[in-house]
């Protein structure tokens, strides 16, 4: 089974916001970074994957199983981290462990203690006195202590200092060593993804824009810079969105090779960042909506 997560033709209206005919898949044994602006449906998607929300129509299947008949079986194999603290605040980490441990068949105390030690977490201090970073480490410790095959994280790095973010990425690298685990995590700190993400899934306004191998993005997309006189009706069509100024233009193309052929040496082509792609895609979509309404 190649795909660990599969959403097929999912529709969901929720809080004045819509996922429409939404189809994504997440490959086994890899890290998929889930990107998109605020309020475009990242958390909704994660909640659909966790069965915290049910789709209005379409199917959600995890490990090839559906939630209707295999809810507990699926959740046994998932480790999760949310961006808000979901642990009880008035208990210690040790007490929290005792609450969660019996839920999992594969809970591993030795593994739990190993992470507690690694993260230097206090076992007997109330969780409400934890710093944001410690809370995150505590959630992660719990998520990793039952040998989950699929780790789902919603904005795990938000509000964390750069040093811990790097340590977290190192930890993720370690987790990926045996090839059995799959990680799916949303983030808007796209630089985290450079070092770890194998696939990027990008959504905008409830629509799946693409899921691609990370290296393919730089093969296909490019930032193009040149003088404004290069632009006309035909050449403008090459771009997802264009930003013009008095000094020239900057644009994003999704077909680097063809753009290279069209412009030759007249324009400069640069490697785009994920942020470039997010920004220009949003602009392109907004303009599209404008010109068609």
Partner 1 sequence: MQIIISNYSKEPIYEQIYTQVKKHILTNELQPGQSLPSMRQLAKDLDISVITTKRAYEELEKNGFIYSVVGKGSYVSEQNIEMIMERKMKVIEEQLMTAIQNSKEIGVELSELRELLTLLYKEEA
Partner 2 sequence: MLNLIRKDIALQKKTLIILLLPLFAYLFFGSSTIWIGVLFCIAIIMQGFSMDEKSSSNLLFNSLPYTRKEIVSSKYVGACVFTFLVLATIFMGNLIIHKEMIQLEQLLFTMSIVMLFISFAFPFSYLLNSQYLMIAFAVLFVLYFIIVNMFIPNLNDRIRELVQTALSFDNSLLYLIVVVSVLLIYIVSWMLSIRIYSKKVF
Contact status: 231 vs partner 2 (CB under 8 A): no
Work out what residue 279 binds among partner 2, partner 1, none; the CB cut-off runs from 5 to 8 Å by kind: none
What is the β-pairing status of strands 31-35 and 199-204? parallel
Which stretches of 195-249 are DSSP H helices?
Answer: 214-220, 233-236
Work out what residue 232 binds among partner 1, partner 2, none; the CB cut-off runs from 5 to 8 Å by kind: none
Smallest gap from Cβ 190 to partner 1, in A, equals: 13
Residue of 103, 141, 145 whose CA lies nearest to 122: 141
Nearer to partner 1, 89 or 194 (CB): 194
Contact assessment for residue 33 and residue 10, using Cβ atoms and an 8 Å cutoff: no
Q: If DSSP codes are grouped into helix, strand and coil, which group holds residue 132?
A: helix
The stretch near partner 1 (CB under 8 A) out of 105-113, 116-124, 189-197, 236-244 is 189-197
Residue of 4, 25, 17 whose CA lies nearest to 56: 17
- Please count the residues of this chain forming the interface with partner 2, following the rule CB under 8 A: 27
Site for partner 2 in 43-62 (CB under 8 A): 47, 50-53
Termini Cα distance of the chain: 43
Site for partner 1 in 129-188 (CB under 8 A): 169-170, 173-174, 176-179
Smallest gap from Cβ 256 to partner 2, in A, equals: 41
Nearer to partner 2, 81 or 209 (CB): 81
Task: Concatenate the DSSP letters of all residues of 65-110 into one string.
Answer: EEHHHHHHHHHHTEEEE-SS--S-SSSBHHHHHHHHGGG-TT--HH
Site for partner 1 in 243-262 (CB under 8 A): none
Contact assessment for residue 133 and residue 166, using Cβ atoms and an 8 Å cutoff: no
Tokens of 55: 């789709």
User: Where on the chain is the footprint of partner 1 (CB under 8 A)?
Assistant: 29-31, 169-170, 173-174, 176-179, 194-199, 213-215, 218-219, 271
User: Where on the chain is the footprint of partner 2 (CB under 8 A)?
Assistant: 14, 47, 50-53, 71-73, 75-76, 78, 80, 82, 84-88, 91, 95, 98-100, 102-104
């Amino acid at each position: 089974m190649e795909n660990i997560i599969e959403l097929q033709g999912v529709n969901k209206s929720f809080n004045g916001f819509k996922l429409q005919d939404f189809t994504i898949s997440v490959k086994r044994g890899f890290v998929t970074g889930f990107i998109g602006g605020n309020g475009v449906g990242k958390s909704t998607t994660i909640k659909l994957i966790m069965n915290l929300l049910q789709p209005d129509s379409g199917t959600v299947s995890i490990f090839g199983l559906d939630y209707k008949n295999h809810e507990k079986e699926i959740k046994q194999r998932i480790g999760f981290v949310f961006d808000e603290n979901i642990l009880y605040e008035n208990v210690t980490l040790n007490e929290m462990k005792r609450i969660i441990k019996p839920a999992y068949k594969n809970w591993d105390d030795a593994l739990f203690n190993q992470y507690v030690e690694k993260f230097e977490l206090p076992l007997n201090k109330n969780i409400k006195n934890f710093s944001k970073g410690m809370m995150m480490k505590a959630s992660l410790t719990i998520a990793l202590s039952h040998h989950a095959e699929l780790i789902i994280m919603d904005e795990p790095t938000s509000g964390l200092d750069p040093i811990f973010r790097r340590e977290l990425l190192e930890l993720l690298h370690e987790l990926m060593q045996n090839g059995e685990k799959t990680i799916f995590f949303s983030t808007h700190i796209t630089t985290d993804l450079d070092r770890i993400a194998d696939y990027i899934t990008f959504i905008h306004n409830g629509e799946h824009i693409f899921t691609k191998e990370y290296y393919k993005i730089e093969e296909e997309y490019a930032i193009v810079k040149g003088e404004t006189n290069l632009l006309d009706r035909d050449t403008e069509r090459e771009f997802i969105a264009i930003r013009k100024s008095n000094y020239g233009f900057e644009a994003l193309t999704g077909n680097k090779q063809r753009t290279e052929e069209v412009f030759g040496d007249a324009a400069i082509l640069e490697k785009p960042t994920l942020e470039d792609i997010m920004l220009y895609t949003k602009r392109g979509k907004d303009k599209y909506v404008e010109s068609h309404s």
